[in-house]
Amino acid sequence: MTTPETRRIYRQQFTLKYGCNPHQSPASVHSVDGASLPFRVLNGAPGYINLLDALNAWQLVVELRESLHLPAAASFKHVSPAGAAVAVPLSETLEAAYEVGGKDLTPQALAYLRARQADPKSSFGDFAALSDTVDEATALVLKTEVSDGLIAPGYDSKALEILKAKKGGKYIVLEGDPAYRAPEVEYKEVFGVALSQKRNTARITREGLGQPVTDAQQLSDDAVRDLILAAITLKYTQSNSVGFALDGQMIGVGAGQQSRVDCTRLAGSKAGVWFLRQHPKVLALAFKPGTKRADRTNGRVRYIEGDITPRERAVWEGLFARPAPQWGQGERETWLTGLKDVSLASDAFFPFPDSIDQAAKRGVRYIWQPGGSVADPQVIEACNEYGMAMVFSGTRLFHH
């Protein structure tokens, strides 16, 4: 085991164009203590933030694969997942909302579609990760998305050809090493101060999930899967964080908030937009021929949100082949009452029951959280009032 007194040896592997910002140069990638890197570059030139996203996303999908035994994917932006998912078949409604109706989708393609479509506005320009070898069908899905790069354990020859051609040959393709094992102790430098800690090796599994502490005791198989998905996703999400999951995919991630109830509101808001994308009015929006995929996605989201400014209205309305129908009073709120059986995970305890009230507005029925707050009895009581089942894991998952 490496101790705080041990001198860590960094070996430069290659240089980067710059660090987080263009004025932060020089910047480099180093291996630690003589070990090899956990990836190799197959195409493109990764940047500092690309690699932060790739390394966190890679850990996430590997852990999901190990825990749920399903192909997994993640879509990262600025060191937090916009979405994560495992390979679960899509309903016809989701196929329409995701614009993949009639397509033959492999498990890997399904996983990435679900991860990317959790919050496609935030996933714009993402760094993706896949737990399994990338096949041609998945590469064709990635080809249509605005994305910076991908890390996966391997690539079929046709898939690699498609991805190497993306972005004029500049798309970043990394091959992750499934056999790589990171040092037990990790270090971080801030303002000339080095901090060390044991890596977060906590494992979230079906066997270790535990029994609910609420009156509601039953956890369906789907709920167990979604709770594990949400908890592992938060393990690699900037804290404070709360995540909503349904049908094998994240549908809302509230990351990096100082207040836990704000995390819940943010995640719930994203879950609401995700569900409203399946509304018949949204599915029926007609775009002009040649409208880019990203513009179609943003057009639907702006239509759902309904807070278009006069400055952008002319541009926004110019996307449509025919006028978008007006929302009826209370129509969106009524539709949202159909969102049910959602699973929620929180990276730390709830200090007040207000987060439970917020979760109830977006159909949450199952909750995974560490417990340990003086307000635990009040939080349990709130869950009982809403008929929710809540598990105390005893494991906090702060990530910074």
Q: Is 221 left (phi over 0), alpha (psi -120 to 50) or beta?
A: alpha
* Residue 270 annotated among the catalytic residues of the structure: no
Q: Residue 256: left if φ>0, alpha if ψ -120 to 50, beta else—which one?
A: left
* Residue 258 tokens, joined: 């100082």
End-to-end CA distance of the chain: give it in Å, rounded: 23
Beta strands in 262-331 (DSSP E): none
Catalytic residue chosen out of the listed positions 50, 56, 77, 281: 77
169-202 burial, b at 16+ Cβ within 10 Å, e below that, comes to eebbbbbbeeeeeeeeeeeeeeeeeeeeeeeeee
Residues 6+ apart with CB under 8 A from 122: 77, 82, 83, 270
78 is catalytic: yes
Give the chain's count of helices (H) and strands (E).
Answer: 14, 15
Whether 279 is catalytic: no
Instruction: Report how far residue 281's alpha carbon sits from residue 327's, in angstroms, rounded to the nearest whole number.
Output: 9
Catalytic residue among 50, 235, 240, 270: 240
Residue 145 tokens, joined: 């998305």
Helix, coil or strand: residue 75:
strand
Whole-number Å distance between alpha carbons of 43 and 368: 39
Token code pair at residue 147? 């994305």
* Residue 399 annotated as catalytic: no
Cis peptide before 240 (omega within 30 of 0): yes
User: Taking the CA atoms of the chain, what radius of gyration do you get in angstroms?
Assistant: 22
β-bridge mates for residue 12, sequence order: 30
Secondary structure letter of residue 291 according to DSSP: -
Catalytic, out of 78, 103, 121, 164: 78
Task: Provide the 8-state DSSP code for 38.
Answer: S
CA neighbours within 13 Å on the CB side: how many for 395? 20
Active site residues: 77-78, 240, 400
